[in-house]
Structure 1
Amino acid sequence: MGNALGCAGLGERLAAGARDGDAAEVRRLLDANPGLARCAAFGSLSSPLHLAAAKGHHEIAALLLENGADVNGRNIYGQTALMQACRFGHWEVVQTLLLFRCNVSKADSLSGRTALHVAAAGGHVRCARLLLAGAGSGRSKLVNRAASGGGGGVTALHLAALHGHADCVHLLVDERADVAARTLPCAAPPMASVGAGSAPLHYAAAGGEVKCCQILVSRGADRAAVNCNGWLPVDVARTWGCHWLEHVLSPKSLLPIPRFPPSAYLSSPLASVITLARDCGLALNMSSLPMDTMDGGADDGDACAVCLERPCNVAAEVCGHELCVKCALDLCSVIRSYDAPGIAGTIPCPLCRSGIASFRRRAAAAEAEPGANAGDRQASSSPHKKRSTESDQDGLPLVCAPPAVMSS
């Protein structure tokens, strides 16, 4: 009995530390008893991993996962830690969970919604971007998955349109979400006021956001579609008091619909860098480690040009500039992509601004130039460093544009 009470007490302290972001306390408890990380809950509704994910403590989430916490474990409501992170928009926690190979397709027990539904409903476009990249070959199935049971058959696009999150709507339709998808032919409150069998445009009409409606119509949504109540999208807008949408939704409207470029949140290289990060064994607390413990060490000439701390271990395709995998992952998760035709979805290189469509693992300098000496290998370790050496000889320093980080 005494041991059981003692374990429960330690578990409650672990849960409190995970919730409050006390990394030192969590590390101390796990060092004493690593098995605490594998316990589901301690007198509460959620595990320490769920609590850390909900509060955005990605370092603590990584620490718990390294000690054996179940990345796909559910709380009392059938929700995973990934859903909790997406609910509050903690994209760094989503990164961590993806690196530990969480299942992005799991649905909760109450509404049948996935983490993508949760992210879309909250307008957390960075989380949605990561989820779609982490889905791999199942991306098209995930983006069009309908919530079963109490979810009423809504897709992530329905929820983003209803809540007026134009960036999420734009991303989802460009990721091939079905603009003609219908909800179930029966609807429970509060969605009964939209109507059963409704398309995303009906939900956008209820949400009242003009840009959401314009994006859907420009991508092929039918303004003459009727739901099971016989309502057009414009009828739903009138029911919800959104009369300013009539000029957009009326099937007889003569006003032109704007043309929208590809979404700036498409990220072509994100899937490749997630795979590389998994292969490299990236942990998000890596910055606390000395550089000589990672990938065999790094000298000053081999450090990442963005963070200046970690060694380069990935290279951008085409331009060949080298970064550490952590900086590459953060850039692909946060920075807006190019939206021009032909390079849509590519991420601007932080060193030369050329579009990056994918990353590859950095080739060892010794393999690239087996006959070169140590000085030559250091000078040729990346195109950026090589050009810098040539510029020094000419007396003209190379000036590189800083990375354009997207504002929150």
Structure 2
Amino acid sequence: MGNSFGCSASGERLISAARDGDFVEAKMLLDCNPCLAKYSTFGGLNSPLHFASAKGHNEIVALLIENGADVNSRNYCGQTALMQACRYGHWEVVQTLLLFRCKVTRGDYLSGRTALHFAAVNGHVRCLRLVVADFVPSSPYDSINGQANGGDASNCRNKPDQSALTKFVNKAADGGITALHMAALNGYFDCVQLLLNFQANVSAVTFDYGTSMDMIGAGSTPLHYAACGGNLKCCQILLANGASRSMLNCHGCLPLDVAKTWGRHWLEPLLTPNSELTVPVFTPSNYLSLPLMSILNIAREFGLQSSATTDDTDNCAVCLERPCTVAAEGCRHELCVRCALYLCSTSNIGSELLGPPGSIPCPLCRHGIISFTKLPGSQAKEIKLNMSLGLCTPCMIHTRESNHLTPACTPEIRKNRVASVSSDIFCPVTCSPFPSVAIPMCTCNDGSCPSFEPREGATEDESSRSQSPSVDEDKMLTVRPERTSCSKMFWSRRSCSREQQCNSEINS
């Protein structure tokens, strides 16, 4: 739909505007013909929403959805806009798509990868925390862990949520590869820790069937993948959460054997089955955000637009612009819904001294926040239909005469505008559905094996609460393999060519 000859030229202009971040051009085209929001390219079936999400143009993403773009539309490979945003780490776009109720559990056509796989394989921990927000109830972390471990919890209504969370986090792509496998292979220890907090299965094994070609071996656990990747802290986190050193894969290899095969000699003392090394104890991840579900539901129901301030209404103490619409449970400090949502999406500072693990420190008193509540004085009827995220109907075209943006709404959109992202910073499309997956020291004849290079910013988000490794171990934490494009190392060539056809349009 939308690929007729009458709107093809205008549709290509909208595609270019969505790719380049030209909000004025996109709005002008949609004002003339709102049906262009459903346009898709002839080759890869990428919609303007796919282009805007992949490039991180959050303002255009919201504009397209408000004009009727399907938030769950798929391209030729079955990838949604949410998957594209998670692939490149645009957490603000992920947040916007979640507010418009996109489906996070969908997998693509190539290998069944969800948005969680795309976020984990590239180490985008903020995208990962947002993708699972609807499955993590705003309740104390201890009660959540008690339910997941089969214990008695006082809040019984969270049990279905935890069952759905476990099923979603452990969903396997082609070959049985989970998000935990991919994060461990690439050495993203912050993603590994967060996935384990979300009850990821540390004993999940890959399959011996499927189109994927796994050089590590079928029946491998995340510890096997971490041993191949060579990151010491990933191995320590997995071992601290119950991973087994004596687990054999279908090739009869231990994690120790995988480390020796791929030249990870610094891991041998830790991965030896009878190792006497002390594994440090890791606290819950700083990216565990308990109040995220509550503030997302409030934003969906009432929208992000706030009514005009009055004399008896206090402005938000953070932005000093919008009236307070939500209150933090516990300290009862009031914030606007935008600031509260931004706080829960970006904060990586734990408040274990003033609240349970996973709580967000209040920006005013540092008290731990577990959930937010809507202030009783707020009125949902004052929110316009096209700005109310809870009333969004992506499958319908809104009428232009009744839903025009008023001048008062325009500055609100401008405040959240994301700067254009140059296509030069994006990684070139390689020969695998996971472009960032790289297994070094290839044994094929395509070229020499890649060398090791220090990983930049590997300890940027590392928690200061965990035990500090030794000097030699600290050097090993920063070792990261270079990317290789050998198609037969991990995934099949057929899947590569199909995905390259879709992504070459976006990266062009």
Among the aligned pairs, what percent are the same residue?
59
Number of corresponding residues? 353
Q: Tell me, what secondary structure is at the counterpart of 2:7?
A: helix
Matching residue of 2:220: 198
Structure 1 unpaired stretches of 5+ = 287-293, 367-405
Pairing 1:65–2:65 present: yes
Matching residue of 1:323: 335
Matching residue of 2:282: 260
Q: Alpha-carbon deviation of 1:221?
A: 0.5
What are the superposed Cα offsets for residues 102-139 of structure 1, whole Å, 9 maximum, x if unpaired?
A: 00000000111100011000000000000111346232
Pairing 1:333–2:355 present: no
- Aligned-partner residue type, residue 169 of structure 2: V
Q: Alpha-carbon deviation of 1:312?
A: 1.1
Q: Tell me, what secondary structure is at the counterpart of 1:302?
A: coil
How far apart in 2 are the matches of 1:125 and 1:343? 21
Matched-pair contact (CA < 8 Å) for 1:15–1:42? no
User: Could you say if the C-alpha distance between residues 243 and 228 of structure 1 is closer, same or farther in structure 2, counting changes exceeding 3 Å?
Assistant: same
How far apart in 2 are the matches of 1:158 and 1:45? 30
Q: How does 1:67-82 map to 2 (within 5 A)?
A: 67-82=67-82
Matching residue of 2:263: 241
How far apart in 2 are the matches of 1:16 and 1:407? 35
Structure 2 unpaired stretches of 5+ = 137-160, 380-459, 463-508
TM norm structure 1: 0.82
Pairing 1:159–2:171 present: no
How far apart in 1 are the matches of 2:311 and 2:225? 55
Q: Alpha-carbon deviation of 1:43?
A: 6.0
| Richer in helix (by share) | 1
Q: Tell me, what secondary structure is at the counterpart of 1:245?
A: helix
Select which of 311, 319, 326 maps to 1:314.
326
User: Could you say if the C-alpha distance between residues 41 and 365 of structure 1 is closer, same or farther in structure 2, counting changes exceeding 3 Å?
Assistant: closer
What are the superposed Cα offsets for residues 265-321 of structure 1, whole Å, 9 maximum, x if unpaired?
A: 100000111111101122xxx5xxxxxxx3354459521111112221111000001
User: Could you say if the C-alpha distance between residues 219 and 299 of structure 1 is closer, same or farther in structure 2, counting changes exceeding 3 Å?
Assistant: farther
How far apart in 2 are the matches of 1:365 and 1:176? 37
Matched-pair contact (CA < 8 Å) for 1:187–1:195? no
User: Could you say if the C-alpha distance between residues 236 and 188 of structure 1 is closer, same or farther in structure 2, counting changes exceeding 3 Å?
Assistant: farther
Q: RCO higher in 1 or 2 (8 Å CA, sep ≥ 6)?
A: 2
Select which of 275, 278, 281 maps to 2:303.
281
Matched-pair contact (CA < 8 Å) for 2:44–2:76? no
How far apart in 1 are the matches of 2:311 and 2:265? 64
- Aligned-partner residue type, residue 301 of structure 2: D
Q: How does 1:18-97 map to 2 (within 5 A)?
A: 18-41=18-41, 45-97=45-97
Matching residue of 2:122: 122
Q: Alpha-carbon deviation of 1:189?
A: 6.1
Q: Tell me, what secondary structure is at the counterpart of 2:307?
A: coil
Matched-pair contact (CA < 8 Å) for 2:44–2:75? no
Q: Alpha-carbon deviation of 1:363?
A: 2.4
How far apart in 2 are the matches of 1:132 and 1:247? 35
Pairing 1:359–2:372 present: yes
How far apart in 2 are the matches of 1:157 and 1:43? 33
Select which of 283, 292, 295 maps to 1:270.
292
What are the superposed Cα offsets for residues 210-247 of structure 1, whole Å, 9 maximum, x if unpaired?
A: 00000000011011111111111011111111111111
Matching residue of 2:483: none
Select which of 350, 353, 357 maps to 1:344.
357
What are the superposed Cα offsets for residues 160-195 of structure 1, whole Å, 9 maximum, x if unpaired?
A: 00111000000000111010011113476652x211
- Aligned-partner residue type, residue 113 of structure 2: R
Q: Tell me, what secondary structure is at the counterpart of 2:132?
A: helix
Matching residue of 1:381: none
How far apart in 1 are the matches of 2:359 and 2:123? 22
Matched-pair contact (CA < 8 Å) for 1:11–1:42? no
- Aligned-partner residue type, residue 191 of structure 2: C
